[in-house]
Amino acid sequence: MDDQSRYHPKPRTILAQALGAGDPTTHALVPPVHMSTTFLRDADNGYHKGFVYGRTDNATVHQVEAIIAALEHAADAMLFASGMAAATSVFLALDKPTHIVASQVQYWGFREWLVEVGRYGHSVTFVDTSDLDAVAAAVRPGETGIFWIETPSNPLWSLTDIAAIAAIAHAAGALLCVDSTVSTPIITRPIDFGADIVVHSATKYLNGHSDVIAGAIAAAKDGPLWENIQKLRGQLGAIAGPFEAWLLMRGLRTLDVRVREQSRVAAWLAERLSTHPAVAAVLYPGLKTHPGHAIAVRQMDGLFGGMLSLRMKAGEQAAVKVASKVEIWRRATSLGGVESLIEHRASIEGEGTPCPPDLLRLSTGLEEPDDLLADLFRAFG
Ligand SMILES: Cc1ncc(COP(=O)(O)O)c(C=O)c1O
């Protein structure tokens, strides 16, 4: 069957059954964790099952990779020990010095790494990727090889038009990589909009229970860069551990229902918080007032994700005070888990952050929405 006619089962179907993963030996519905680090050679000195050593390959990891590739409509996927390991591998695997065009506002930890990418021979230009003229102007013909965007991006939830950036990237002979951690494949599948590589911190929504650090990349097609990344992952030992992969597979089974509910509650909270007198602005792509709303409608599947931010009218101290007074929202970094998290983001990003000091980042969990709203209203008090 060619690509056009291939039927893609809906994510919910793929996920609930973990793409049919099980145990052929016992017919167990839930697959075992493959913990072995090494594998028997066949008598003819071959490895006919395809597994040699755990630093390069693992059957539990493969099962999760197959699920992620199916969700992302990708040719292949690779699981890493963290989102940072996944993201950095793309650049460490480039075989020549490359100019990168990257989103100005994005996950702070990765932006910090990109700022120092010169030590690996590459260079980077940060631009506002919602401004297509600025993106086009940042291209260095013959040198620009990678466009790196995060959409919606931390912590302002700015939108970048994936299809428009893919067109600019491809015209320049470059690849487009999208950090889609916040959208998840339930809401956006960047490859359908022309992206070449999709990156996830699987630590967040994909796992969803704040108990696994992992990362993933999915590629629209195989090629020399993909092979380099595979080789590098084996050399560095950056593969996810088998138990983490197994937990991730368990978490993935409920990804669809979690993301739908978290998005529904975030939208409900955003509406109610935006009229509170203590709040100067609510940043949420689902709000019509959000500058990226039109793009969000085009490339997010009618859901706008579980992340929102508040800017407090009374400034930084008021924001810190709200975070210290809440009793149900948990004061912690990270996002995408079943428990709602609140964070004064500028405090963790530190000096030089583009994050406004009056901003609180909220990751909506699965608690009763009324409790979440009442807790914030009490803390605004
Ligand atoms: C959007 C985004 N991308 C990547 C990462 C890095 O992922 P990890 O912490 O799994 O290394 C994070 C972590 O906070 C993130 O929020």
Q: What is the mean pLDDT of the chain?
A: 96
* 307-312 β-sheet, strand order: 279-283, 307-312, 359-363, 341-344, 330-331
25-35 average pLDDT score: 96
Atom of ligand 1 nearest to the CA of 106: 1
Contacts of 22 (CB under 8 A, 6+ apart): 28, 29, 30, 31
120 belongs to the catalytic site: no
Which is catalytic among the residues 57, 111, 161, 179?
179
Task: State the pLDDT at residue 250.
Answer: 98
Best residue for ligand 1 mutational test, from 80, 84, 217, 307 (most atoms within 8 Å of Cβ): 84
Lowest mean pLDDT across 256-260, 321-325, 347-351? 347-351
Task: State the pLDDT at residue 4.
Answer: 55
Which tokens in the block code for residue 42? 């066949």
Give the residue with greater pLDDT, 352 vs 211: 211
Triad 155, 157, 161: Cα angle to 5° = 135
Task: State the pLDDT at residue 340.
Answer: 98
Contact 338, 330 (CB under 8 A): no
**Diameter over CA atoms, the chain:** 76
Residue closest via CA to ligand 1's atom 2 equals: 107
Atom of ligand 1 nearest to the CA of 213: 10
The string of pLDDT tens digits covering residues 67-96 is 999 999 999 999 999 999 999 999 999 999
Contact 77, 68 (CB under 8 A): yes
55 belongs to the catalytic site: yes
Distance 349 CA to ligand 1 centre (A): 13
Residue 6's pLDDT band (cuts 50, 70, 90): low
10-29 average pLDDT score: 94
Distance 40 CA to ligand 1 centre (A): 36
Residue closest via CA to ligand 1's atom 15 equals: 107
Distance 122 CA to ligand 1 centre (A): 21
Contacts of 375 (CB under 8 A, 6+ apart): 326, 327, 328, 329
Q: Which residues line ligand 1 (CB under 6 A)?
A: 82-84, 107, 109-110, 150, 154, 179, 181-182, 201, 203, 213, 215, 334
Which tokens in the block code for residue 146? 């990678």
Give, as one character, the DSSP assignment of residue 167: H
Which is catalytic among the residues 57, 107, 111, 358?
107
How many percent of the chain have pLDDT more than 90?
Answer: 96
The string of pLDDT tens digits covering residues 208-237 is 999 999 999 999 999 999 999 999 999 999
Task: State the pLDDT at residue 2.
Answer: 47
Residue closest via CA to ligand 1's atom 3 equals: 201
Q: What are the residues facing 42 on neighbouring strands?
A: none
Spatial CA neighbour of 86 closest among 197, 210, 223: 197
The string of pLDDT tens digits covering residues 114-172 is 999 999 999 999 999 999 999 999 999 999 999 999 999 999 999 999 999 999 999 99
Task: State the pLDDT at residue 352.
Answer: 84
Residue 283's pLDDT band (cuts 50, 70, 90): very high
